[in-house]
Amino acid sequence: MASKNLSKDIEKIAPSTMADVVETRLREYLKRKAFKPGDALPKELELAEALDVSRNVVREALSRLRMLGMIESRKKRGMVLAEPDILGGFERVMDPLILDQNTLQDLFELRLVLEMGLADVLYTRMTDKDLKELEQIVGKEINKVQKPFKVKYEIAFHGKLYQMTGNETFMRFQNMLLPVFEYVVSEEAKINGEAKVGKVTHRDLLELLKTGGPEDFRQGMKEHLSPHFERMKR
Amino acid sequence: MASKNLSKDIEKIAPSTMADVVETRLREYLKRKAFKPGDALPKELELAEALDVSRNVVREALSRLRMLGMIESRKKRGMVLAEPDILGGFERVMDPLILDQNTLQDLFELRLVLEMGLADVLYTRMTDKDLKELEQIVGKEINKVQKPFKVKYEIAFHGKLYQMTGNETFMRFQNMLLPVFEYVVSEEAKINGEAKVGKVTHRDLLELLKTGGPEDFRQGMKEHLSPHFERMKR
């Protein structure tokens, strides 16, 4: 009987595919009907009936949207549309060990682009208090090449720069990118030896912030990051 | 009886909370055990037993990871860890209508930072073919201030710049940011009238790419975007 092998000859539609479809359908529906944060969603059962799928599949799809912060449950009101966390999904997958090489390289470069681009926002927003705090961070740096220290100071210094932009999304984004950046640098070091360090130090960058303008700072940052830019050209 | 009102006095643990916990637990487990793409995951039932939760909750949590591209189902092998899509979660929530004002402003500025930072990668990678294509894009621009046209040309020109960096993540990221940017600009226009246009045009930027260096291009870009930088200072 031909039908005996049918399940081998024709691929099953995986349950995941169904959740994918329902998830997409729900997002389209919310967008088309211009749902705004706070608006109540139809109940799970109603959605299942309208979509003609099982409640389990609807629950799966809703759970995905809940993870992204797009919906939340409110007492007595049921599910409502919420203001999503823009970086939540990004944060969850930002693990160097599971990202492919191309993506790691892309993120490495993305961080370079951000560092080179931040000067204008930085100069618009930074305060004297910020500069004092940055001074303290630079003061704590010891000229040791020991790896764990180096990374710690990198995070402290560059993290503070991003904080000084007053842009929270930007700051979080950078905090997620930095571990990937350090990972790429250290993997590279295993093959080609330790990366050289740019001539412009954190202290030099601080002085530029105090006395120079965005262009000076940018030139300093480019020199500070020059070993990484060199790496990119290879 | 006091217990009669207990369900009113003590808040139920929402099923969503359970899926949150299981999702986090699973991600920690995968990370701690250093799962690599292609590694097979325990079965749903085993996970449910080990976590002492229902299969439905495990299925929900797994569905979330599947959405992020972290796991996928393979024939005969069951679930395996996969290389996630770094921007998938971001893409799903990038809707100006549901993001809060602070996040919209953050993303607006993030795009300015990216535009200002891209010169170095751009000059490292761009080819003559790229410049010819950019020439064609600029050639099609008509000096009409009509809105739909303007946005279309903005997307074509700036999108091409990002493509020229050869960085796919960067390009996709920018493509997601641009609609948010345009939204913020058009909302602003409703209040304060049309934004002014920077003196440096797309054609000027193209000339800078052909004959200048990264610094010249960056100065040009800053002037091109100057109305938006002005807006930021207010």
Q: Is B113 found in the same domain as B70? A: no
- Does residue A116 contact residue B119 with C-beta atoms inside 8 Å? yes
Q: Is A72 found in the same domain as A121? A: no
Taking an 8 Å cut-off on Cβ atoms, the answer to whether B106 and A34 are in contact is no
Taking an 8 Å cut-off on Cβ atoms, the answer to whether A98 and B229 are in contact is no
**Closest approach of A98 to chain B, Cα-based (Å):** 6
**Closest approach of A84 to chain B, Cα-based (Å):** 6
Name A23's Cβ contacts closer than 8 Å, sequence gap at least 6: A60, A61, A64, A65, B67
Say whether the ipTM exceeds 0.90: no
Q: Which residues of A touch B68 (CB under 8 A)?
A: 89, 92-93
Taking an 8 Å cut-off on Cβ atoms, the answer to whether A103 and B35 are in contact is no
Tell me which residue in B70, B85, B92 faces A27 most closely, judged by beta carbons: B92
Q: Which residues of A touch B218 (CB under 8 A)?
A: 218
CATH (domain of A30): 1.10.10.10
Range of the domain at B221: 88-233
Residue of B11, B35, B65, B67 for testing the chain A interface, max A β-carbons within 10 Å: B67
Q: Which residues of B touch A121 (CB under 8 A)?
A: 109, 112-113, 232
The last residue of a domain, from among A18, A51, A81: A81
Domain count, chain A: 2
Q: Is A102 found in the same domain as A50? A: no
Q: Is A74 found in the same domain as A137? A: no
- Does residue B125 contact residue B166 with C-beta atoms inside 8 Å? yes
Q: Which residues of B touch A115 (CB under 8 A)?
A: 117
Name B37's Cβ contacts closer than 8 Å, sequence gap at least 6: A98, A100, B80, B81, B82, B83
Q: How confident is the model at residue B77 (pLDDT cuts 50, 70, 90)?
A: confident
Q: Is A199 found in the same domain as A120? A: yes
**Closest approach of A159 to chain B, Cα-based (Å):** 16
Taking an 8 Å cut-off on Cβ atoms, the answer to whether A70 and B63 are in contact is no
Q: Which residues of B touch A35 (CB under 8 A)?
A: 98
Q: Is B100 found in the same domain as B68? A: no
- Does residue B134 contact residue B201 with C-beta atoms inside 8 Å? no
Q: Is A166 found in the same domain as A104? A: yes
Q: How do residues B135-189 score in pLDDT, each as one tens digit? A: 999 988 865 555 555 778 888 999 999 999 999 999 999 888 888 888 888 888 8
Q: How many inter-chain contacts (A to B, CB under 8 Å) are there?
A: 200
CATH (domain of A197): 1.20.120.530
What mean pLDDT comes out for the span A147-176?
Answer: 86
How much is the pLDDT for B3? 58
Q: Is A99 found in the same domain as A53? A: no
Q: Is A131 found in the same domain as A56? A: no
The last residue of a domain, from among B53, B81, B109: B81
Percent of chain A with pLDDT over 90: 65
Q: Which residues of B touch A107 (CB under 8 A)?
A: 86, 169
Q: Is B108 found in the same domain as B66? A: no
What DSSP line would sit under B153-200, residue for residue?
Answer: HHHHHHHHHHHHTT-HHHHHHHHHHHHHHHHHHHHHHHHH-SPP--SS
Percent of chain B with pLDDT over 90: 65
Q: Is B127 found in the same domain as B183? A: yes
How much is the pLDDT for B230? 87
Q: How do residues A5-35 score in pLDDT, each as one tens digit? A: 787 777 766 666 899 999 999 999 999 999 9
Q: Is A62 found in the same domain as A110? A: no
The last residue of a domain, from among B32, B54, B81: B81
